[in-house]
Amino acid sequence: MKNFAYGRVSSIEEAVNRATGDRNAVYIAGGTNLVDRLKAFLDEPTQLLDISRLEIEMKRIEPTLEGGFRIGALVTNTDLANHAEVRDQYPMLSRAILSGASQQIRNMATVGGNLMQRTRCPYYYDPAFACNKRQPDTGCPAINGVNRTHAILGASERCVAVNPSDMSVALAALEASVEVQGEQGRREIPLVDFHRLPGDTPDRDTNLEPGELIIAVRLPPIAFAPSGVYLKLRDRASYAFALVAVAAAVELSGDQIRNARIALGGVAPKPWRASAAETFLQGRAANQSTFEQAADIALQDAQPLSHNGFKVELSRRAIRRALAVSARGGGLV
C-alpha cells in the first residue's frame, strides 16, 4: 500500500478546495466500502479527507417546503431507514436499506457513501485478473468467464459489472436528486443520471466532477409512494447482494393505473429505471396480464451472458410480484 496523508476537514468549502487541488484525494466518512478497497489495493489515494464531522446540515433529515425530504449525505443508513416519516411515506426506501448489509455496517454507512460504493464484481477485486474498471483497456474477463451475478441490461463490451446499492434502486424509483458541491458551486443531479453506464469508460462510476462532494439527497413528494414495495432476490436471506431487485409503486384510480414507478437492481451497472414499462402501465387495468406485459417491456433489451440467463425470467417474476403487491396497497412482499 502506498503511503497517504490523512486530514480532518472543518468545512465543506475546505473539503472541496483540497479535493479539487489534488485529483488523487478521496473523501472518507463511514468508510465501509472504501476501507475494503484500500485493503485490496484498489484505491491508492494521496490523502484521505475525513468529512465525518462536517456541517450539521449534512447529518439532518428535514422536510422540504415542497413536501418531500432533504437527507444529509452524512445521515447513516440506520437513521434513514428508521426515520418515522420516511418509513411511513417512502416505505420502499426504508425496506431497501434494511435489506442491505448488517446492522453494524448500516450504523456506520452513510447516504453519500452508499451512492458512491463500487461494484462487488469478483474480477474487480482480484488483481490476478484484468479489469477495465480497475485499469482501463486491460479487458473484462467476466464477459467470457463466470458471470452469474453480472448485468443483463446496460452493459458494454468493456464491462458487465452491476451496481451493488439497494438504496439507490429505491431512490431511482422515487425520482430523487443528488445535491453536490464543487469548485463551481452547488448543483443537483437527478439520481437516474448520477451513475453512469460503462460505455467506453467503465472506470467512471458517476457523473461527479473532480472534487465534487455529495451534500444531500432530495426526495420529492409522491402521493402514491406509501404503496411502494422493495423486493430483493438473493442467494441467501441476509448480508447478500441482489441477484435481482425491484422497487415499484403504483397509483390507482378505481381499477386503472394512473401512475407507476419501476426501478431494477442487480441487473445493470446503475440503478435501472424501467421508463418504457411505466409509460405502458398508465391508463391500463391493474391485473396480472397488464403486469406481465409491463415486465416484458422492462426486459425487452436484456442481453444475458453465458451464466446469467436466469436473471431475465427472475426479473420478470419479480416485477410482476412487486407491481401486484403495490396495487393492493403495498406492504411486505
Please tell me the predicted confidence (pLDDT) of residue 33. 95
Contact assessment for residue 292 and residue 315, using Cβ atoms and an 8 Å cutoff:
no
Residue 259, CA distances (Å) to 40, 67, 79, 176, 323 in order: 45, 19, 30, 17, 12
| pLDDT by 10s per residue, the chain, length 333 | 789 999 999 999 999 999 999 999 999 999 999 999 999 999 999 999 999 999 888 999 999 999 999 999 999 999 999 999 999 999 999 999 999 989 999 999 999 999 999 999 999 999 999 999 999 999 999 999 999 999 999 999 999 999 999 999 999 999 999 999 999 999 999 999 999 999 999 999 999 999 999 999 999 999 999 999 999 999 998 889 999 999 999 999 999 999 999 999 999 999 999 999 999 999 999 999 999 999 999 999 999 999 999 999 999 999 999 999 999 999 877
Sign, CA torsion 203/72/106/221: negative
Calpha distance 239→27 (Å, rounded)? 25
Q: What is the DSSP-derived secondary structure letter of residue 159?
A: B
| Tens digit of each residue's pLDDT (9 = 90 or more) over 117-136 | 999 999 999 999 999 999 99
Of 323, 218, 316, 317, residue with least CA distance to 260: 323
pLDDT tens digit sequence for 189-243: 999 999 999 999 999 999 999 999 999 999 999 999 999 999 999 999 888 999 9
The enclosing H or E element of 21 equals helix 12-21
Residue with cell 422493495: 230
List the domain boundaries for the chain.
Answer: 5-53, 56-116+163-219, 225-327
CATH number assigned to the domain covering 225-327: 3.30.390.50
Q: Is 139 left (phi over 0), alpha (psi -120 to 50) or beta?
A: left
228 and 247 Cβ atoms separated by less than 8 Å: yes
Domain 56-116+163-219 indexed as CATH 3.30.465.10: yes
Domain 5-53 has CATH 3.30.2010.30: no
* pTM (2 d.p.): 0.97
The domains spanning 5-53 and 225-327 adopt the same CATH topology: no
Output DSSP code: residue 69.
Answer: E
Q: Where are the beta strands (DSSP E) in the chain?
A: 5-8, 25-28, 47-50, 61-63, 69-72, 177-182, 185-190, 213-219, 229-233, 244-253, 256-265, 272-273
The pLDDT, as a whole number, for residue 4 is 93
